[in-house]
Amino acid sequence: MTMELDVFVGNTTIMDEEVYQLWLDGYTVNDAVKVRMDGGVMEECEASADVLLSDTMDQYRTFQMCERLLHSPSKLGNQLLFQIPPHRQAMLIERYYTFDDAFVREVLGKKLSKGTKKDLDDIGAKTGVTLKSCRRQFDNFKRVFKVVEELKGPLVENIRHHFLLSDKLARDYAAIVFFANNRFETGKRKLQYLTFQDFAFCAGQLISNWTVGAVGEPADHQRSFRFYMDVDLDKEFLQELKELKVLITDKDLLDQHKSLVCTALRGKTKAFNEMETNFKNLSRGLVNIAAKLTNTKDVRDFFIDLVEKFIEPCRSDRWTAADIRLYLTHYNNSAHILDTFKHQVVWDRYMGVVKSCIFKMYHD
């Protein structure tokens, strides 16, 4: 008896993006099958439950075999076991390294160590992210940190080059690495209203303006085995910030600064009386934050200090975001008119970041 069969042979690895996402999200095979069935895939493909289970298991095995390559994304394009088109490779890598904002918010600024990893059960329960997905995301953070830790050059570019990530995702990872390296406090109750993207924006400002890499090549004495650009804060700049204290310790200078700012603000905002009354306290708060940044603990408390010393007082007086922008613009600019103030360059470098961070952190 003769039988005719139509046979199709191909070597392109077939991967379903929906199944891949279910795998990344930590679903078991059976749970993934249920999600697919609820989504109507059986009707679309005219497949039985057994076929759907077999397909899901097969794809899960493929993803598990690919995972070791995803740990070093450049290997994915050089291996011969899986024939995956370039655009598919980019999708696999980008999604593998994508993370949940709720999860990263819980670990941001913490040491990427076994101690933190032990807390993943609790973090998963709090955020609704499966434990398997929490582990993948945490291990990705740790992997990126370890790779870039010993590299010189711009942090974002190093991450993008070594992990083949999009610019946006590379910048987000740069923020995570930067916060982990400097151990910024983000978990205090007063900071809970801030999102990961709020902190990521601030990290970008700090990296661009306060690190050694922000001012070009470091001096020989600043070089070390560790990376010197974009992650380590410029210690010489932090020392120079102490010079700004003259703005609050010199009474004549403080009074002159207040007079210039209030003259510029008068008639431009309903909050003028509060601005005039609180000027000296607000100025002392901002300048003292700067002067203390030579201490590691005060660097870690940078964001909580901004909230306590500036944002909370303004919020209690019902300043709008527009009021904040108006006040800080004139507060910054007026320092350039002070006759005896000689630290404008350091002042601008400091206030440029502080202004941007406060604008981002001040939610009406």
The pLDDT value recorded for residue 216 is 53
As a residue count, the chain comes to 364
Contacts of 196 (CB under 8 A, 6+ apart): 101, 104, 105, 108, 172, 175
Residue 9's Cβ-count burial label (10 Å; 0-12, 13-18, 19+) is exposed
Q: What Å distances lie between residue 131 and 11, 24, 214, 221, 304, CA to CA? A: 34, 11, 38, 44, 30
- Tell me if 192 sits within 8 A of 304, measured CB to CB: no
DSSP string, 14-71: P--HHHHHHHHTT--HHHHHHHHHHTTHHHHHT--HHHHHHHHHHHHHHHHHHHHHHT
Element (H, E) at 248: helix 246-249
Angle ∠(349,354,358) on CA atoms, nearest 5: 155
Nearest to 107 by CA among 151, 145, 69, 148: 145
Strand partners, 233: 211
Distance of alpha carbon 290 from alpha carbon 70, whole angstroms: 42
Contacts of 165 (CB under 8 A, 6+ apart): 93, 94, 97, 159, 173
Nearest to 331 by CA among 317, 351, 350, 314: 351
Element (H, E) at 228: none
Please state the φ and ψ torsions of residue 233, each to the nearest 5 degrees.
-65, 145
Distance of alpha carbon 311 from alpha carbon 358, whole angstroms: 7
Mean pLDDT by 10 residues, the chain (364 residues): 56 85 96 90 78 92 95 89 91 98 96 88 96 97 93 90 97 96 95 97 95 62 44 93 96 97 96 97 98 93 97 96 97 94 96 97 87
Q: What Å distances lie between residue 136 and 31, 54, 71, 148, 151, CA to CA? A: 19, 25, 10, 18, 23
- Tell me if 65 sits within 8 A of 57, measured CB to CB: no
Distance of alpha carbon 312 from alpha carbon 241, whole angstroms: 23
Distance of alpha carbon 348 from alpha carbon 197, whole angstroms: 24
The pLDDT value recorded for residue 50 is 87
Q: What Å distances lie between residue 264 and 33, 325, 328, 352, CA to CA? A: 65, 13, 11, 19
